[in-house]
Amino acid sequence: MRTFTTFDEVAAAAGEELGTSAWVEITQERVDTFADATGDHQWIHVDAERSAEGPFGGTIAHGYLTLSMVPWLGSEVFALDTPGAKLNYGVNKVRFPNPVRVGKRVRAHVAMGEVTDLPAGKQITLRYTIEIEDEAKPACVAETVVLLLA
């Protein structure tokens, strides 16, 4: 794991690959819990019997479940221990090129994007690719934005 303790360290890492998280299995329990939290109980996510006959041959994770795992998976790769608050500022781009079937494992590849000076600190972009084990296309590609306040 890479730990950044100063704004200078963060700025020096612009454009660098930061690393890869451990694999984590996407279980039906995780999908069902997400469905309950969001109210999205579409059958392709929660109905194993019906989805077995559907387009993916079984239940799949919500795209936004995969996206919601980005901060946690990223925390296995890097830490921002800079002074001041750290704020999720937004997401510039998100795509879900490949569904994650329940029972598959995913992991995150993380790269530092641009680091921009702000009057209150730094703005950084982070590029995440959520890979599915044994599949060529990723589950999610996202560019997130974080504010590091002084």
| Straight-line distance from the first to the last Cα atom of the chain, in angstroms, rounded to the nearest whole number | 23
Per-residue pLDDT, 83: 92
Mean pLDDT value of segment 68-79: 97
Mean pLDDT value of segment 68-82: 97
Indicate the pLDDT class of residue 138, thresholds 50, 70 and 90: very high
DSSP-assigned beta bridge partners for residue 22:
none
Query: Quick one: tokens of 136?
Result: 């060529």
Q: Whole-model pTM?
A: 0.94
Which residue carries 């451990």 as its tokens? 22
Kindly report, residue by residue over 89-123, the tens digit of the pLDDT.
999 999 999 999 999 999 999 999 999 999 999 99
Kindly report, residue by residue over 9-54, the tens digit of the pLDDT.
999 999 999 999 999 999 999 999 999 999 999 999 999 999 999 9
Q: What is the largest CA-CA distance in the chain?
A: 55
Which of 111, 115, 102 has the alpha carbon at shortest distance from 45?
Answer: 102
